[in-house]
Every structure is written in structure tokens, then in C-alpha cells.
């Protein structure tokens, strides 16, 4: 199995915010944006793993800016780290308003996917080799985020979360 780079699976989805997708103050429903992000992230995960994927978790979503009606929304998704059968996908969401000002970063999110076979059993996926500084930072942070999720889910003990302990131990 050949290792891949984040650029091999990068997905960019661009769409408009239509009236039926907005709330009472004419901004995009959060759930609508989550659905769009999930689709973009799943395409990215499928491209990386070359397998069927399922959403395992939504680890982080930050709704920093409301996205107005009529805006052009662009979602960029990249695999930030691959584990055995799971992978973390990092998403950045930008929008351009009706005045066509410079794009504004509205949101970011982190989703986790698991590659599965036709019997829905996890399957091994290629390693990920980050290239850019941002990709390397997200790659390094992914292990800490994964360990934190596993501790919170009760799947590992806090004492075994080596990456988390390293954050708090002095050298």
C-alpha cells in the first residue's frame, strides 16, 4: 500500500446559499453546513482510502461567522492524518458575500472516518505524508486529538495517552 499526501485527496466543494437553506435571520442553517462538510469530508476520505467510508465522529466544529443568504461557500477538505483504518479530515470553510469582497473564513471542522469493506468491517488504509507546514502541524495535532477522544470515550486510560501527557510534563 503506497503512502499518500494530503493533496492526493484534497476536495473542494463550492455552492450557493439558497433561501430554503437559511434560518429566520437569512443565514445558512448550521445543520445544512454540517451536511455539506460531511459530504466533502467523506469524498476526501474515500479518495485517500480508496474504500467505502463511514463517518465515525465529528470531533470539532467552530461556527465563527454566520454565512449570509446568497453567499458563495467553499469547503476545502484534506486528510490530516491516517491511522490503521481511520483517518482525520480537516475542513476549512470560506464564503464570499454578495458584494464579492475577499473570502472570509467562516468555519473549520474536524471529522473522523473509518474505511470499511462491503461487510462494514474496518480495513487498512494508506499512510499519510504531510508536506506543507500547515499539513505537518495538523498531522502532529491529530494524534493528540485522537488520544483525547479515546480517553473521553473510555477506550484508553488517561495514563496511556502519551501525546497528552507530553503536553503537561516539563522537561
Strands 72-82 and 11-16 turn out to be: antiparallel
Q: Let me know if residue 121 belongs to a domain.
A: yes
Q: Which of 10, 12, 14 is nearest to 44 (CA)?
A: 10
Q: Let me know if residue 163 belongs to a domain.
A: no
* Share of the chain residues as helix, strand and coil, in percent rounded to the nearest 5: 35, 35, 30
Its pTM stands at 0.89
Q: How far is Cα 10 from Cα 76, in angstroms, rounded to an integer?
A: 7
Average pLDDT of 111-139? 97
Q: Let me know if residue 22 belongs to a domain.
A: yes
What the block records as the C-alpha cell of 99 is 458584494
In the chain, the number of structural domains is 1
CA atoms 6, 11, 17, 21: torsion sign: negative
Q: Let me know if residue 165 belongs to a domain.
A: no
CA atoms 53, 128, 85, 119: torsion sign: positive
Q: Let me know if residue 44 belongs to a domain.
A: yes
Q: Which of 83, 88, 82, 85 is nearest to 41 (CA)?
A: 88
> pLDDT at residue 171 above 60?
no
Q: How confident is the model at residue 1 (pLDDT cuts 50, 70, 90)?
A: confident
- SS3 category, 23: coil
Query: Residue 123: which domain range?
Result: 6-128
- SS3 category, 67: coil
Q: Let me know if residue 141 belongs to a domain.
A: no
Average pLDDT of 112-125? 97
Helix (H) / strand (E) element for 88: namely: strand 86-96
Q: Let me know if residue 159 belongs to a domain.
A: no
Q: Let me know if residue 61 belongs to a domain.
A: yes
What the block records as the C-alpha cell of 133 is 507546514
The CATH number of residue 12's host domain is 3.10.129.10
* Model pLDDT for residues 29-79, shown as the tens digit of each residue: 999 999 999 999 999 999 999 999 999 999 889 899 999 999 999 999 999
What the block records as the C-alpha cell of 119 is 461487510
Burial of 37 (0-12, 13-18, 19+ CB in 10 A): buried
Amino acid at each position: 500500500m503506497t503512502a499518500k499526501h494530503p493533496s492526493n485527496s484534497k476536495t473542494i466543494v463550492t455552492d450557493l446559499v439558497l433561501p430554503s437553506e437559511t434560518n429566520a435571520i437569512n443565514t445558512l442553517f448550521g445543520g445544512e453546513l454540517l451536511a455539506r462538510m460531511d459530504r466533502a469530508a467523506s469524498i476526501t476520505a474515500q479518495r485517500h482510502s480508496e474504500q467505502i467510508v463511514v463517518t465515525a465522529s465529528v470531533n470539532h466544529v467552530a461556527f465563527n461567522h454566520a454565512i449570509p443568504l446568497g453567499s458563495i461557500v467553499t469547503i476545502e477538505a484534506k486528510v490530516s492524518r491516517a491511522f490503521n483504518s481511520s483517518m482525520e479530515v480537516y475542513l476549512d470553510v470560506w464564503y464570499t458575500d454578495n458584494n464579492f469582497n475577499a473570502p472570509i473564513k467562516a468555519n473549520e471542522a474536524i471529522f473522523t472516518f473509518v474505511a470499511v469493506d462491503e461487510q462494514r468491517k474496518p480495513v487498512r488504509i494508506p499512510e499519510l505524508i504531510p508536506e506543507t507546514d500547515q499539513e505537518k502541524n495538523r498531522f502532529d495535532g491529530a494524534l493528540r486529538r485522537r488520544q483525547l477522544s479515546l480517553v473521553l470515550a473510555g477506550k484508553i486510560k488517561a495514563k496511556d495517552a502519551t501525546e497528552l501527557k507530553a503536553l503537561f510534563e516539563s522537561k
